[in-house]
Amino acid sequence: MRKAAVTGHPVKHSRSPIIHGYWLETYGIEGEYGLVDVPPHEALTFFKSLPEHQLVGCNVTIPNKEIALEAADIVDDAAREIGAVNTLWIDETGKLQGSNTDAVGFLGNLDQAAPGWDTRKAKAVVLGAGGAARAILWALKQRNYQEIVLINRTLEKAEALQHHFGKPIRTSVWETRSEELENCDLLVNTTALGMTGQRPLDLDLDRLLSTAVVTDIVYTPLMTDLLAAAKARGNQVVDGLGMLLHQAVPGFEKWFGIHPVVTSELRSLILKDMDQ
């Protein structure tokens, strides 16, 4: 029986076991997916000895993603550029492979929920410069956006990412965030602003194209104030739950040999868990 798990510290609230458990049952696979709490000081040793823990691989959540990058023998371009690993697996040669699937999750969510969202590819505006923003900037570069405007409350953090990723990314100060929505085709909020328990995101959408797609990587609440305001003015909106579901796809395929599909049934299962 092949076994995988989500690892982090803390990890007990992760919904990954629900996602992978659903796929294991759906495809009739004899496998297991569990939870393993791994404190940072134990993470490097743990990742380098996955077979000793009867694991063929694992997901990695905070605060161990950078440690997983260090632990992996081989990492893909996404992990290297984003600077973090969230998926590990043992390959057929016994090497520890690492990937970052957050970009895949972001793109997969938009591709499924808003087909054609990247047709024009003229201008994207990304709010926030944390770890999630790194994955999204890398993803948008893969889709060949002509202009990506990165806006963060601390300009220096945005400038550091601009320097790291290069063109076509440019930065803008937080005070001009509403003005930068002029001619924007895609608006992405990667900040915690608007999340349950956080301060609201203050943003004027008047300059946003009516054809623009608006997405928020937050999924608690599912319909953030940003998405609600955008939807009210006629914009297509995409919530952040799909990113969580789609980022899980590559790992499941590596561990269990089947490329799973993100279905409405799976989404409903997670929503039901969120309501409990």
**Active site residue ranges:** 65
Strands 236-238 vs 213-216: parallel, antiparallel or unpaired: parallel
Residue 4 in tokens? 């995988």
Q: How far apart, in whole angstroms, are the C-alpha atoms of residue 222 and residue 180?
A: 25
Are the beta carbons of 75 and 108 closer than 8 angstroms? Answer: no
Q: How far apart, in whole angstroms, are the C-alpha atoms of residue 114 and residue 96?
A: 35
The DSSP symbol for 228 reads: H
Q: How far apart, in whole angstroms, are the C-alpha atoms of residue 247 and residue 107?
A: 9
Q: How far is CA 214 from CA 23, 140, 202, 229, in A?
A: 29, 14, 15, 10
